[in-house]
Amino acid sequence: MSEKESLHSLDYSVLQQCMHCGMCLPTCPTYDETLLERNSPRGRISLMRAIADDKLEVTKAFGEEMYYCLGCLACETACPAGVNYSHLFEVARAEIEQAHVLDNPERSVIRSVVLRGLFTRPRVLRFIGRLLWIYQASSAQWIFRALRLNRLLSRRFQNLEAQTPIACAKFSHQLIKEIEQPAKTRFKVGVLSGCVQDVLFSDINRDTVEVLLANDCEVHTPPVQSCCGSLHAHNGDIETAAQLARRLIDLFDVEKLDAILTNAAGCGSHLKTYDRLLADDPVYAERAATWSAKLKDIHEWLAEIGIRRPVQTEMPVENKVTYHEACHLCHGQKISKQPREVLRAIPGLKLIELPESTWCCGSAGVYNITQPEMAAKLQKRKLDHIVSTGVGTVATANPGCHLQLVNGARRISHNLEVVHPISLLARAYRQERGH
């Protein structure tokens, strides 16, 4: 969407596309929970259309409904009419923010500090990440919890403290050179290190580079990258999302690269829409179109160029793994078989299919913070299915899902390894090299 698009200015045919057939209803987690029409995709589209027709105003109730939606996009997969719900969803949330119907002092401060402050300044985010690592590495966190000082916090902040992620000791630029070359080069690619991914999962970024090198890709990774803007676009701040898109495009020599790669599902779903986001920008529109054409999810790229199977150096111990499909990978980007191809390329790995693998885990960006009750129900549902497979490892390709599953396993005291599919492939390549 453009920075100034609204439900009133939206091409009306987009709103009319919904046939109200109800095929989306069984796939929608919020409708499944409440069985209320307004909590369904077609119910929300009806509300959007009423606003576009000037039959309803943008109210607090409308705002709360749009933010109760997970944005998991399962409805898009189910829809026979091809409704672009993700576009409608972002336009509606942007209009809510422009109308200020949900504004209150606490919310305004959080959005200002987090969205426009922390996640637009990568060096500040890294500084916070470094403080978190020191807090954890020095045992200060363990002491804080051992003394039960967390009981002094409000219930809301107790829940947040319990979900504190583990920060990495090194950031991506400390693990990855700006340009890394394989023994022979077939392709030149750019790698996005992300924001949360950089602070909490820089090891996955390193694994991504190693996998690309093993598949004859020269890898270009700019050392200080900003947030891609997905968090902003999904929360109604389209202007900031567009600013971040321009900043990220400027970091890469897109014309000289065969592909630009991301290993985070939620980011990838948004990164592929830069052409639409900057369509009205006279300076960036053409570059954004090239960007979107070359933006690939890492699994998508490997399947496209042909995954080199790791050489089996010894008889491997059978490792059973199940796979949770991140919503913005399977529903947002329609990428489902490619991660499985990556996993099946690994010697000794046996993939056990996960019941309801495409059902949302409840992370959904910041949904587990803003809607903790619903998120917890989805988390439990997902963990119950994972436990039912009897495996000790679950693979998933999104940092939010990763954290949600780790916290869910901790909550039920289940010894579960959560890992990115690319990390499993990187391990196999390292074993091949004798590392």
| Better-predicted residue by pLDDT, 412 or 75 | 75
Which of these, 364, 370, 270, 382, lies nearest to 322 by C-alpha position?
382
Task: Look at residues 202, 237, 220 and name the one whose alpha carbon lies nearest to residue 365.
Answer: 237
Last residue of a domain, one of 99, 118, 148: 99
The pLDDT value recorded for residue 435 is 64
User: Which position has the token pair 């890898």?
Assistant: 219
Report if residue 7 sits inside a domain: no
Indicate whether 278 and 261 sit together in one domain: yes
Q: What is the CATH number of the domain that holds 352?
A: 3.40.50
Res. 315: pLDDT tops 70:
no
Same domain, 351 and 427: yes
Maximum C-alpha span of the chain: 69
Contact 63, 317 (CB under 8 A): no
Residue that terminates a domain, selected from 258, 276, 305: 305
The pLDDT confidence band at residue 29, using thresholds 50, 70 and 90, is very high
Give the model confidence (pLDDT) of 162-178 as tens digits. 888 999 999 999 999 99
Domain end residue (candidates: 270, 305, 340): 305
In the structure encoding, which two tokens stand for residue 275, read together?
Answer: 């052409």
Query: Cβ distance 350 to 317 under 8 Å?
Result: no
- 380: containing domain: 319-433
Contact 346, 424 (CB under 8 A): yes
CA geometry: angle 103, 106, 108, nearest 5 deg: 50
The encoded tokens of residue 29 equal 């987690």
pLDDT tens for 317-348 read 568 999 999 999 999 999 999 999 999 999 99
Q: pLDDT for 212-258, tens place per residue?
A: 999 999 999 999 899 999 999 999 999 999 999 999 999 999 999 99
Mean pLDDT of 11-25: 87
Contact yes or no for 371/363 (Cβ under 8 A): no
Do 45 and 82 sit in the same domain of this protein? yes
What is the pTM for the complete model shown? 0.93
Average pLDDT value for residue range 365-384: 93
User: Within its chain, how far is the Cα of 95 from the centroid?
Assistant: 23
CA–CA gap between residue 89 and residue 91 (Å, rounded): 6
CA distances from 229 to 114, 205, 272 (A): 12, 19, 12
Task: Give the alpha-carbon dihedral of 24, 29, 31, 32, to 10 degrees.
Answer: 100
Assign 4 a pLDDT band (cuts: 50, 70, 90).
low
At 44-93, the pLDDT tens digits run: 999 999 999 999 999 999 999 999 999 999 999 999 999 999 999 999 99
pLDDT one-digit tens code per residue, 358-374: 999 999 988 988 899 99
Using the predicted structure, report yes or no on whether residue 3 has a pLDDT greater than 90: no
What is the arithmetic mean of pLDDT over 146-152? 88
For the stretch 411-419, contacts whose Cβ atoms lie closer than 8 Å and that sit 24 or more positions apart, written own/partner, are 411/379, 411/383, 412/383, 412/387, 414/383, 414/387, 416/386, 416/392, 417/392, 417/393, 418/393, 418/394, 419/393, 419/394, 419/395
pLDDT tens-place string over residues 131-141:
999 999 999 99
